[in-house]
């Protein structure tokens, strides 16, 4: 298990800390006679005094009804989930999802695509009740609703008790839930390391024995979930836990290979991740391409310095093997690394119109942060 922390005192939710756009969405749904609550990580974070990264809404309204109510919106999802993304000023998006009747499984196929209006009504969806929706979610602390109109937290799964105890616990039977949805296991490690939570004993025991389930999951989703774990500002802690569970050869094969070369390589890689954590913790957000290239720098240039573009492409190819939806990453990483060399050698020589210039500058800043820590 992860190291237990002291119990976390919960706070009353102050409406002034709720995104005004989320409040407006809830009000419009209520005016149309629909049940609608804040749900998930935003409720969890508000209760422990964190600032939510985003706000999600769960409702009794169908996706078609939500889409009709908000003109600047679109259906989004696939085989595992369905939401309506309400698009707001400044590129902000609030996701409004219907109450689900049953848990999602890690089904193969695209699950992150825009759904056309004419397809939205025909999209498979089994409506559920608020309690069914809560029980369909992954971990108890992510299944809390907040009823803004009534000023109350609705808890169907004992999530408040787990939140007070700083405990991450699967909803339902952990063996059944985690084996049928391997991405949930990786997400659990990501949440535990990012939030500083202890993984409940039964959940941890299944994770430690169910690594084989990862080989049956969607490779693209598992890799994206792993990269999110590295991007949270607690990447070193995340990779240490993956290593402890024995999951690195499946999730991040180049990392597993590099760490197996000896304690010196392992120490260097983890120090590199700690430097990445410091950089990310300053508020920097890295997209998937920059994140993958940044993580792989010590592997692609084991003797130090910058990797060659071809070396980066080769290791990225190993990383994305089995994930055809990420097949362009090696080529894009090759081009980004070439631009990185230009930025480091002669910044003024890089054409301002080069679309990779902003990402290359972020990568160069990260290289500088890593060199400071050496």
The phi and psi torsions of 296 (rounded to 5 degrees) equal -90, 0
Neighbours of 357 (CB within 10 A): 17
The residues, any chain, with a CB within 8 Å of residue 81's CB and separated by 6 or more, are: 97, 104, 111
Q: How many CB atoms lie within 10 A of CB 59?
A: 25
The rounded distance, in Å, linking the Cα atoms of 317 and 332 is 11
Question: At a CB cut-off of 8 Å and minimum separation 6, what does 43 contact?
Answer: 13, 144, 145, 146, 153
Determine the Cα–Cα distance for residues 30 and 20; give it in Å rounded to an integer. 15
Inter-residue contact 190 to 229 (CB < 8 Å):
yes
CA–CA separation, 313 vs 307, rounded Å? 10
Distances (CA, A) of 170 to 129, 135, 157, 184, 185: 20, 10, 10, 9, 10
Q: Which residues are catalytic?
A: 54, 56, 138
CB 339 within 8 A of CB 324: no
Collect all residues with Cβ–Cβ distance below 8 Å to 201 and sequence separation of at least 6: 1
Distance CA 259, CA 83 (A): 40
253, burial (CB in 10 Å: exposed 0-12, middle 13-18, buried 19+) = middle
């Amino acid at each position: 298990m992860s190291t237990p922390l002291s119990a976390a005192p919960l706070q009353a939710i102050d409406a002034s800390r709720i995104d005004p756009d989320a409040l407006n969405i809830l009000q419009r749904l209520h005016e149309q006679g629909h049940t609608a609550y804040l749900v998930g990580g935003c409720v969890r974070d508000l209760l422990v005094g964190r600032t939510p990264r985003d706000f999600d809404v769960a409702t009794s309204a169908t996706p078609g009804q939500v889409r009709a109510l908000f003109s600047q919106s679109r259906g989004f999802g696939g085989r595992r989930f369905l939401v309506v993304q309400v698009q707001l000023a400044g590129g902000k998006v609030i996701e409004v999802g219907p109450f689900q009747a049953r848990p999602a499984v890690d089904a193969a196929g695209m699950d992150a695509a825009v759904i056309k209006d004419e397809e939205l009504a025909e999209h498979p969806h089994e409506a559920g009740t608020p309690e069914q929706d809560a029980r369909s979610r992954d971990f108890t602390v992510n299944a809390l609703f907040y009823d803004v109109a009534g000023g109350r937290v609705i808890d169907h799964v004992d999530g408040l008790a787990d939140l007070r105890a700083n405990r991450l616990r699967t909803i339902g039977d952990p063996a059944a839930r985690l084996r049928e949805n391997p991405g949930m296991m990786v997400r659990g490690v990501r949440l535990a390391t990012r939030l500083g939570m202890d993984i409940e004993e039964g959940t941890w025991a299944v994770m430690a024995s169910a690594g084989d389930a990862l080989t049956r999951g969607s490779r693209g989703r598992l890799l994206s979930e792993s990269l999110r774990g590295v991007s949270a500002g607690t990447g070193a802690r995340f990779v240490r836990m993956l290593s402890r569970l024995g999951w690195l050869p499946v999730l991040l094969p180049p990392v597993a290979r590099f760490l197996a070369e000896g304690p010196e390589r392992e120490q260097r890689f983890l120090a590199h991740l700690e430097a990445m954590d410091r950089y990310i913790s300053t508020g920097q957000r890295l997209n998937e391409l920059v994140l993958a290239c940044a993580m792989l720098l010590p592997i692609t240039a084991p003797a130090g310095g910058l990797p060659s573009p071809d070396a980066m492409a080769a290791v990225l190819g190993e990383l994305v093997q089995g994930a055809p939806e990420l097949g362009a990453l090696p080529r894009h990483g090759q081009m980004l690394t070439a631009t990185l060399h230009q930025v480091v050698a002669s910044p003024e020589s890089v054409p301002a119109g080069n679309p990779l210039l902003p990402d290359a500058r972020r990568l160069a800043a990260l290289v500088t942060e890593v060199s400071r820590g050496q």
